[in-house]
Amino acid sequence: MVSKRFSVLDLLSLELKGNDSLDLRCICGRRGLVRQISIPDLNRPGLALSGFFDSFAYQRVQLFGRGEVAYLNSILQNGQTDSVKSLFAYPLPCCVFTHGLQPPQVFIDMAEDADCPVLSTGLESSDFSTRLMRVLSNIFAPRLTMHGVLIEVYGLGILILGDSGVGKSENALALIERGHRLVADDIVEIACLNGNSLIGQGANKYIGHHMEIRGLGIINITQLFGVGAIRERKEVQIIVKLEEWDAGKSYDRLGTDQKTMDILGVQVPLLEIPVRPGRNIPIIIETAAMNERLKSMGVFSAKEFNKNVLRWLETDAVQSPYYDADDSY
């Protein structure tokens, strides 16, 4: 598991673009930029500004929208500063003013004295809340790293696991040559989002799209196959475990019993594929991906096969010879 320390300065330093951009800038309280954000949630301090601090969620980022700013201006113009002083008596991570609003100078002075960072964004409160929650949920998501290869096959994220030397990278390379896309090789970082979605990516974005092929060395997938052969992140939807063929082991031949692997509390379909000379593993993985897509559409080939066999056994063509033979005794 990966523990995460995340400060207000880290929040300001995030390189977010497009619909993920937070458009944040620091107004005051720069000495407090080292304060840690420990909870991926927001709080709107309207009740605190009115003097009610029971169950005050001071550990969260404090969001000031138009309503909070209007009330703040009202009480400060009347010289009522006690609630604001009480607010800054708590170790707030930071305060964020939306809609490009500016806090009153009195508020800025008290924030400076308390070393509390005050940030501003041009986004609306609802838009900023959605974006920040998405960013913080991703940052604070439970994580782990696994030794394997993550590749996208027919739109499904397949994590290939197995002992060193079993052929994970070689089979992934064959899949890439067949038009599929590499997400990460060797070290895969997996984050659990929303408690039910596993998102995998390379542990290091600078070397994530390189592969080590024994006898060949390090190769750059982007340069060899183009940007269409890679992607940055992908949900882990199937796990393929490659292992050396064991003649004494009974392998699944029907597919009626679905095995799973637990990763961060999420059960992921698991396929154990034995490797030996003559087996075309890339084609087997492609077929597994297509079969999983069929399952998502409600088509279970193994179950349909069982039903068809039972239906055939119940037909007269099978029953008649049986009963006729029984009558002869």
For the annotated catalytic residues, the residue numbers are 147, 168, 186, 253
| 131 touches 123 (CB < 8 A) | yes
Positive or negative: CA dihedral 140, 145, 233, 219: positive
What SS3 state is found at 172? helix
The span from the CA of 57 to the CA of 35, in Å, is: 16
Alpha-carbon span 50 to 240, nearest angstrom: 57
How many whole angstroms separate alpha carbon 261 and alpha carbon 21? 35
212 is an annotated ligand-binding site residue: yes
Residue 168 marked in a binding site: yes
Please check if 250 is assigned to a binding site: no
74 appears as a binding residue in the annotation = no
Distance CA 188, CA 200 (A): 6
CA distance 148 to 188: 6
166 labelled ligand-binding: yes
The Cα–Cα gap between 84 and 74 comes to: 12
Nearest-Å Rg of the Cα atoms of the chain is 29
Closest by CA to 137, choosing from 146, 129, 145, is 129
Question: Cβ atoms within 10 A of the Cβ of 300, count?
Answer: 16
> Taking Cα atoms as reference points, which of 258, 265, 284 lies closest to residue 167?
284
Enter the tokens of residue 156.
Answer: 């499904």
The annotated binding site is made up of 162-169, 212
The annotated binding site for Mg(2+) is made up of 169, 212
The annotated binding site for ATP is made up of 162-169
